[in-house]
């Protein structure tokens, strides 16, 4: 394992090495006083211990950094009576207090460093060229690093929050695509299956009609491909009239009679999309699971709300009303996201009621007032 003086994620980078230039002040006094070998040895040993503590402090982000600060402060205390350049150690100790925790804790550490420097000066009557830089630069550097450390912590929180938002956005987008593909492909593939089965049955006794059904399968497949591309792109252009028309075709192919009553309604685009998807999913469930002979669809609007009800006379009513599949759960999520409600009632068949509040301004959805159509297979 390669040993590194600084961690890879250090925000200071190469500037941590630049600040070591101030360690040279420790060697000024031995040079000027022509110190003995013992004094030089002690000075170099002290500097070596400082370097170990200095680089170790960059690795710690908890209470252990106090040990490094305390060690550097002891070096300053020990060398100050004999070497005025030891004021540098007090400044280095002050520079690390900003990383001990929140500003209120760091300020206490800075006050402690300044108090020790003042006590050292008073006890040993140290000259001004010791206490002045020790007090002034400890205060300036320590205060600046407290602010910088707090800004770094704030930025780190913002980065984590941004990453969480991005993760939630990606998750929501995956869920949206999954819901849309389920709604689109579930309905369309059911219709294709029914058409293909019908064509197979008609192939021998009515080849012409079988050919029409095969061409219809091709058309539906192309339409499904277009809708999938639209859904993945995040847009929805198909409205309620188109879904009603598709529902009629699908139910007819499944041998289910359709009765529907539709008033002209005015909806926001998002509301129309939700109702269209809900209608598609409800019809798909009737074709797949209900075994019904008749399907009723009602679309009406009052001054306060828009109501869509889809009911059948099949066997779905025997299932517990609390049991929801993926499609119904996605439908409920969309409806409640627009402030509406979804009710599923089980009895003689299944009834699905969707109610959305009126939101202004609204967009008109074309339809024929009080239209009632009965289709039999």
pTM exceeds 0.85: no
- Name residues whose C-beta falls within 8 Å of residue 241's C-beta, 6 or more positions apart in sequence: 365, 366, 367
> How is 11-30 classified by DSSP, letter by letter?
SSTTHHHHGGGGGGGGGHHH
Handedness of CA 270, 275, 276, 281 (dihedral sign): positive
- Name residues whose C-beta falls within 8 Å of residue 103's C-beta, 6 or more positions apart in sequence: 146, 147, 150
Q: In angstroms, what CA-CA distances link 302 with 263, 336, 358?
A: 10, 19, 8
- Quick one: tokens of 99? 């990383």
Give pLDDT, residue 355: 92
In the three-class reduction of DSSP (H, G, I as helix; E, B as strand; rest coil), residue 53 is classed as helix
Confidence of residue 12 (pLDDT cuts 50, 70, 90): low
Q: DSSP code of 99?
A: G
pLDDT at 296 over 80: yes
Phi first, then psi, for residue 6 (nearest 5°) are -125, 150
311: left (phi over 0), alpha (psi -120 to 50) or beta: beta
Give pLDDT, residue 1: 39
Answer with the residue of higher pLDDT: 157 or 294. 294
In the three-class reduction of DSSP (H, G, I as helix; E, B as strand; rest coil), residue 206 is classed as coil
Give pLDDT, residue 180: 67
pLDDT one-digit tens code per residue, 145-186 = 888 888 888 887 877 876 776 677 667 667 766 776 676 676
């Amino acid at each position: 394992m390669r040993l590194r003086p600084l961690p890879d994620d250090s925000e200071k980078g190469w500037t941590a090495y630049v600040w070591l230039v101030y360690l040279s002040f420790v060697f000024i006094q031995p040079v000027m006083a022509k110190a003995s070998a013992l004094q030089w040895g002690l000075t170099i040993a002290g500097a070596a211990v400082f370097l170990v503590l200095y680089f170790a402090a960059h690795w710690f982000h908890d209470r252990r950094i106090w040990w490094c600060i305390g060690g550097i402060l002891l070096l300053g205390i020990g060398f100050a009576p004999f070497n005025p350049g030891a004021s540098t150690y007090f400044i280095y100790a002050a520079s690390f207090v900003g990383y001990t925790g929140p500003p209120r804790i760091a300020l206490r550490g800075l006050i402690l460093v300044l108090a020790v420097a003042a006590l050292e000066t008073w006890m040993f009557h140290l000259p001004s060229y010791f206490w002045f830089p020790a007090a002034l630069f400890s205060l300036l550097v320590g205060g600046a690093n407290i602010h910088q450390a707090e800004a770094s912590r704030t930025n780190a929180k913002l980065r984590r929050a941004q990453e969480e938002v991005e993760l939630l956005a990606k998750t929501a987008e995956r869920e949206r695509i999954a819901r849309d593909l389920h709604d689109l492909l579930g309905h369309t593939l059911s219709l294709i299956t029914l058409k293909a089965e019908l064509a197979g049955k008609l192939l021998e006794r009515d080849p012409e009609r079988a050919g029409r059904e095969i061409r219809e399968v091709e058309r539906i497949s192309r339409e499904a491909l277009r809708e999938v591309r639209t859904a993945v792109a995040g847009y929805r252009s198909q409205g309620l009239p188109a879904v009603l028309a598709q529902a009629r075709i699908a139910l007819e192919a499944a041998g289910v009679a359709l009765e529907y009553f539709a008033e002209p309604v005015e909806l926001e685009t998002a509301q129309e999309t939700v109702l269209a998807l809900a209608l598609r999913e409800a019809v798909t469930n009737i074709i797949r699971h209900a075994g019904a002979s008749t399907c009723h669809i009602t679309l009406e609007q009052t001054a306060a709300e828009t109501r869509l009800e889809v009911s059948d006379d099949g066997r779905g009513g025997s299932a517990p009303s609390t049991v929801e599949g993926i499609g119904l759960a996605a439908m409920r999520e969309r409806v409640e996201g627009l402030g509406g409600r979804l009710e599923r009632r089980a009895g003689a068949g299944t009834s699905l009621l969707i109610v959305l509040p009126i939101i202004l301004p609204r967009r008109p959805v074309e339809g024929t007032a009080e239209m009632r159509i009965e289709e039999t297979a």
